Structure 1
Amino acid sequence: MSTIEKLPIEQDYSYLNDRLIAQQAAFLANPMPSAQQRIESLNKLKRIIINNSDAIIYSISMDFSNRSESETLLAEIFPLLDAIEYSKARIKKWMKAQKRKVPMTVMPASVSVMYQPLGVIGIVVPWNFPLFLGLSPLVSALAAGNRAMIKMSEFAPRTADLVKDIIDREFNIDEVAVFTGEVDVSSEFTKLPFDHLVFTGATPVGKIVMRAAAEHLTPVTLELGGKSPTIIHESFPIEEAAERIAFGKGMNAGQICVSPDYILCPRHKVNAFAQAFVKAMSRNYPNLRSNEDYTAIINARQLTRLQSYLQDAKEKGAQIITINPADETFESTRKFPMTLVLDTTADMLVEREEIFGPILPIKAYDSLDEAIQYVNHGLRPLALYYFDWDKQRSDEVLARTHSGGACINDTLSHVTVDDAPFGGIGPSGMGHYHGKEGFINFSKAKTVVRKGRINTTKFVAPPWNKPAYNLLVKLLWFKFKTLRR
């Protein structure tokens, strides 16, 4: 008896391209929205967030199996509302054409730069902050007068469905359209000829996204990650450093692209820092299993990855310190205790890979120069943290290292600053958004030269033996030769 081979069902992704075409057509019908129209769009987004805040908090917590209300408020909802209010108050100023200097060869004329919306912005959202990292780029895109298509993360499905529902109810789909679905949808989404594409996620995937965008010469903003270092200077109080770092590393159980990835600590203070960090974490999270303040790992795949990092380090001789104040077990849960790793070596996964979870290696150094060299020998990270009250040394560390952003005597907080750009460098990303830089990023800065009624170029046009041309040449030579060297 013969069997009929079942062929795979070919998926139809044409709806993505259809939506892009519809948004492009709507944009062409209104290519320069007024400041008031942009403010109204941001007000609409603000109402969506406020009116659905309880549902947002619940959905995100369910996707993680547990995440505290406070973390979602502090890391997602409040920063978004701040960003909306900040942009609303400045849109009119940002939209004004900027006057620029007129060179002698162009006089008489005026020169200005106007900022035009790009068109349709594609946004690919990660799972770790599924609201903030989707709607934060949207704030900048709307402020710049664009339309947007958003692909939510398949690893936070409840939040994805909720965001799609609340956006669809308030926005016309020709303004903002939200899509859900698995990784195949994300792959097809990144192949669309957007006017700009924003991707937040892992560096290897960022390379794939950039290759797909290159097919259409689509400009990209890549917010990736990497191994963000934390350097503690010898003079800084070790318990103070531990307390501040524990807060940042504990947020979202370390599942943050700018989370401190490893500590560089003076050699003779490594044990003291480890003890102080255990104390600080135990105070913040006295128990874990039933603690609603401590976030779970997003899924079994990520949990297995983190466990493999620790197993690899243990097998290669590292010292493992598990911070589990109540001495609990975690079978059948995705709670993963904060874990310190000492005596690491370059061949361990915790040194080679971005950790993105509650594991914190501590590396000893003997001089600040050695710590800086260690950072500079690695790939440029998304963030760098340095603890030192001395401003001169802090400025030196900032000048001698490269990172997407930095905090002195703190961690994470630079991400929530609206009046400053956020973005990576090299393997940790490219491009910026937030605030004015976000407006610029999603706009075309177009130079405009405006001439008057009199055609002055005819006085210097060929043939090149005209008196006016000879005078212009003499004036220019006089200008350049008399400039101070």
Structure 2
Amino acid sequence: MVADIAYMQDQQKSISRMQQLFDQQRVAFGTHPMPDAGSRIDALKSLKTALLRYQEPLIQAISTDFGRRSADETRLAEILPAIEGIKYVSKRLRRWMKPSSRHVGMAFQPGKAKVIYQPLGVVGVIVPWNYPLYLAMGPLTGALAAGNRVMIKMSESTPETARIFAQMLGDIFDEDQVAVITGEAEVGMAFSKLAFDHLLFTGSTGVGKHVMRAAAENLTPVTLELGGKSPAIVSKDVPLADAAERIAFGKGVNAGQTCVAPDYVLCPRDRVDGLVDALRIQFSRLYPTLRDNADYTQVVNPRQYQRIQGYLQDAREKGARVIELNPADETFSDTRVLPPTLLLDVTDDMKIMQEEIFGPLMPIVPYDRIEEAMAYIADRPRPLALYYFGYDKAEQERLMNQTHAGGMCINDTILHVAQDDMPFGGIGPSGMGHYHGHEGFLTFSKAKGVYIKQRFNGARPIYPPYGGTILKLVYKLFIR
């Protein structure tokens, strides 16, 4: 009881401090509502310098939070794209900030029209645990580029990362510009209820609904980066070694704890056994051992480990064939290491085919014709990513144009996320809105249309009292 009271008091203190920071950022934005390009670029350069300086402590912190997280995966999947994103935005920001001239119709001359891009104000960012650095840095880069103040709620599942990240940002920003919030679920709920000018959430579809509901109370616009079951389609004639290599990479990174990881594979029925063999070879090449392999990441915490094990047990009990890819024949009972695992003969009543897996399990679903695979995807909630493996360009075009997903790779997995000149975002149950690159700048800006005219008022002839020759001429010329 005493511990519970102390816990609640601690959370309430965090919530009170969070509200104070929000109020401070509101006041600070009101004082400087339109930062110039130079100050924004300076902020981004400082962010890049700090990230380079803190990269080793951040790598260690993330590994500590996971129990073991590949240092190279943190560099490749978090630090490198964060730095590239900052460089990309900084180089183009002055051009993006310029007002854009727009057409004015003949009926409204003499006049001019333009769109100016203003900061929204105070932006909230809710960060998940799976990529706690990159999924904080990406939105932060876009929001700062657009001239906003930013509050970042880090995941309670990665406390050491949150601590180091807050220290890093504290070195370069005052809290009325960028602030990091930590705390448990109660703090997260309170965070989503703040009257932000925009709120970006990355996480599960279920939690995303709660965030959107809370934001609606303040009419806060939201960007939701969710997940879902992202399929990989293997074509009838692609070399299986090619497809298996790239699928294994996309599934193996972060032990499958990636929102755009291939969730399941659709494979021609007569190629399933061959694909299993090819995946076994490729996973074994990437991860010849698992238990003490620094390249292979653990499941982040016991709760997530039990969740994935529950999917596996449910599938076994309902008749799935389970193929564990454990090349060194190791045991993992005293760890949170989960080996890559393929599942055959899966059915729709299995939890593994209903929920996003977010781990190293991968069902293989057979199909007979490509139309059947496309219909299978269309009958289910739209995924965050879709992957197609095949070198027939006509079929590539067909898949690109006739399927729906947040993003897509042809003959690869997950790497579309790192392309700075493409928007990233979900569709339907996998999310809404976009960010990254120019789309990120636009998401965190208000595109304000401005119509301008000077001393001469060309609209006077259409003012009341109505009637007369000029108005009749206007109708004749323009209402046709």
TM-score range (shorter-chain normalised) is over 0.9
* Residue 68 of structure 1, aligned match among 64, 67, 70: 70
Deviation of the 1:460 alpha carbon:
2.2
* Residue 393 of structure 1, aligned match among 392, 395, 409: 395
> What residue number does 1:170 align with?
172
> What residue number does 1:335 align with?
337
Structure 1 CA distance for aligned equivalents of residues 422 and 475 of structure 2: 44
Q: Name the aligned partner's letter for residue 133 of structure 1.
A: L
User: Is 1:49 aligned with 2:51?
Assistant: yes
Q: Name the aligned partner's letter for residue 424 of structure 1.
A: G
> What residue number does 1:297 align with?
299
User: SS of the counterpart of 2:290?
Assistant: coil
* Residue 381 of structure 1, aligned match among 368, 373, 383: 383
Q: List aligned pairs for 1:29-428, cutoff 5 A.
A: 29-428=31-430
Q: Contact 1:295 / 1:335 at 8 angstroms: preserved in 2?
A: yes
Which sits farther off after the overlay, 101-110 or 143-152? 101-110
Q: Contact 1:120 / 1:148 at 8 angstroms: preserved in 2?
A: yes
Structure 1 CA distance for aligned equivalents of residues 223 and 36 of structure 2: 25
Deviation of the 1:7 alpha carbon:
6.9
User: SS of the counterpart of 1:130?
Assistant: coil
Structure 2 CA distance for aligned equivalents of residues 137 and 105 of structure 1: 42
Identity among equivalent pairs (%):
53
Q: Contact 1:118 / 1:146 at 8 angstroms: preserved in 2?
A: yes
Deviation of the 1:308 alpha carbon:
0.9
For residues 119-173 of structure 1, what are the alpha-carbon distances to aligned partners after superposition, in whole Å with 9 as ceiling and x for unaligned? 0000000000000001100000000000100010110111011101111121110
User: SS of the counterpart of 2:259?
Assistant: coil
> Which runs of no fewer than 5 residues in structure 2 stay unpaired?
none
Q: Contact 1:460 / 1:466 at 8 angstroms: preserved in 2?
A: no
Deviation of the 1:457 alpha carbon:
1.7
TM-score (norm 1): 0.96
Structure 2 CA distance for aligned equivalents of residues 447 and 170 of structure 1: 34
User: SS of the counterpart of 2:363?
Assistant: strand
Structure 2 CA distance for aligned equivalents of residues 318 and 470 of structure 1: 76
Q: Name the aligned partner's letter for residue 265 of structure 2.
A: I
TM-score (norm 2): 0.97
Structure 2 CA distance for aligned equivalents of residues 251 and 158 of structure 1: 21
Write out the 4+ residue segments of structure 1 that deviate beyond 4 Å after TM superposition: 6-10
For residues 96-124 of structure 1, what are the alpha-carbon distances to aligned partners after superposition, in whole Å with 9 as ceiling and x for unaligned? 11111112231110011111000000000
> Which runs of no fewer than 5 residues in structure 1 stay unpaired?
481-485
Structure 1 CA distance for aligned equivalents of residues 5 and 169 of structure 2: 37
For residues 234-262 of structure 1, what are the alpha-carbon distances to aligned partners after superposition, in whole Å with 9 as ceiling and x for unaligned? 01111111011111111000000000000
Q: Name the aligned partner's letter for residue 162 of structure 2.
A: A
Aligned length: 475
Deviation of the 1:16 alpha carbon:
1.3
For residues 202-245 of structure 1, what are the alpha-carbon distances to aligned partners after superposition, in whole Å with 9 as ceiling and x for unaligned? 00000000000000000000000000000011011111110111
Deviation of the 1:320 alpha carbon:
0.4
Deviation of the 1:401 alpha carbon:
1.1
Structure 2 CA distance for aligned equivalents of residues 355 and 109 of structure 1: 56
User: SS of the counterpart of 1:199?
Assistant: strand
Q: Name the aligned partner's letter for residue 117 of structure 1.
A: P
For residues 57-78 of structure 1, what are the alpha-carbon distances to aligned partners after superposition, in whole Å with 9 as ceiling and x for unaligned? 1111111111111101110001
User: SS of the counterpart of 1:178?
Assistant: strand
Q: Name the aligned partner's letter for residue 53 of structure 2.
A: N
C-alpha RMSD of matched pairs (Å): 1.4
Q: Name the aligned partner's letter for residue 425 of structure 2.
A: G
Structure 2 CA distance for aligned equivalents of residues 388 and 326 of structure 1: 32
For residues 44-103 of structure 1, what are the alpha-carbon distances to aligned partners after superposition, in whole Å with 9 as ceiling and x for unaligned? 110110001111111111111111111011100010000000000111110111111112
> What residue number does 1:483 align with?
none
